[in-house]
Amino acid sequence: MPPQSTTDTLRAALHHATVPSVAMSAHNPLVAKLALEAKFHAIWVSGFELSASYAVPDASILPMSAILEMTRAMSEVCSLPLIVDIDTGFGNAVNVAYAVPRFAAAGAAAVVMEDKMFPKDSSLRAEGRHALVSIAEFQGKIAAAKASSTLLVIARTEALIAGLGQDEAIRRGVAYAEAGADAVLIHSKQKTPDEILDFCKAWPGTVPLVIVPTSYPQLSFKQVGELNKVGLIICGNHAIRAAVSGMRRTFARILEEGGIGGVEEEIAPVSDIFALQGDADMREIEKKYLR
């Protein structure tokens, strides 16, 4: 029997809603390896984190090639399913039909596509632009994605972000499932989980749900499992935020203390970095083949 693909692994995981899988965000292969080491279930190839790593806004500024190349690089060093944030799909349904097979070839297990108009704006940005495309247009994008590859397609509705209410969010989610979406990602920027909990309880259950609890971190994974509706929880931007806070602390201390001695016990040893780079494997190649 052939080994299970990461797409099949993720598909099965999405339907275990009583124990949701947890994906950690990543913006480069090193972060993906650390998430694998920590035993997360999947990797969220985060558009927000990739944009931040290039120091540009999360507003459809990065080209598809940058996201595609990072997806490929992560897949080469990490065996976890890669769930790639493709924002609005880089254009209309035609663009989607060309883009999704390229992400499949790069090693993705799933893509997440949202129903905002291009260019998108970050969902959590205060007073952001949150206009949505029509349901019919987004159904066409989903159908194009499904017809062009075997990847899972997770349809993200921004109806709650746009202030359109629960009824519209459910209407869109159901329509997207009917168009072939394998799961629906529902997002909220409220500071409490009430809006998301209400949506999950009202969701008719046509496909599993996916949530990104960035704004309401008090919601535990156990509470999510008790809903029996959510197959995947995404930690949407925690890798880049952890990296920024850690680097700021280290950089400030070096300058304050006038040397690097004080931070040595707080940062990873060079040997740890060598291990994450796969240095031991390279040494074996040297022994076998260098003459």
| Residues with catalytic roles | 58
**Is there a contact between 182 and 110 (Cβ–Cβ < 8 Å)?**
yes
Q: What does the chain look like in DSSP terms, one character per residue?
A: -PPPPHHHHHHHHHT-TTS-EEEEEESSHHHHHHHHHTT-SEEEE-HHHHHHHTT--SSS-S-HHHHHHHHHHHHHH--SPEEEE-TT-SSSHHHHHHHHHHHHHTT-SEEEEE-BPSSP--TTSTT----B--HHHHHHHHHHHHHH-SSEEEEEE-TTTTT--HHHHHHHHHHHHHTT-SEEEE----SSSHHHHHHHHH---SS-EEE--SS-TTS-HHHHHHHT-EEEEEE-SHHHHHHHHHHHHHHHHHHHHTSSGGGTTTS--HHHHHHHTTHHHHHHHHHHH--
Bridge partners of residue 114, in order along the sequence = 156
The dihedrals phi and psi of 184, each to the nearest 5 degrees, come to -120, 125
CA distances 111 to 6, 47, 85, 86, 257, Å, are 13, 11, 6, 6, 46
Instruction: Give the span between the Cα atoms of 181 and 142, in whole angstroms.
Output: 6
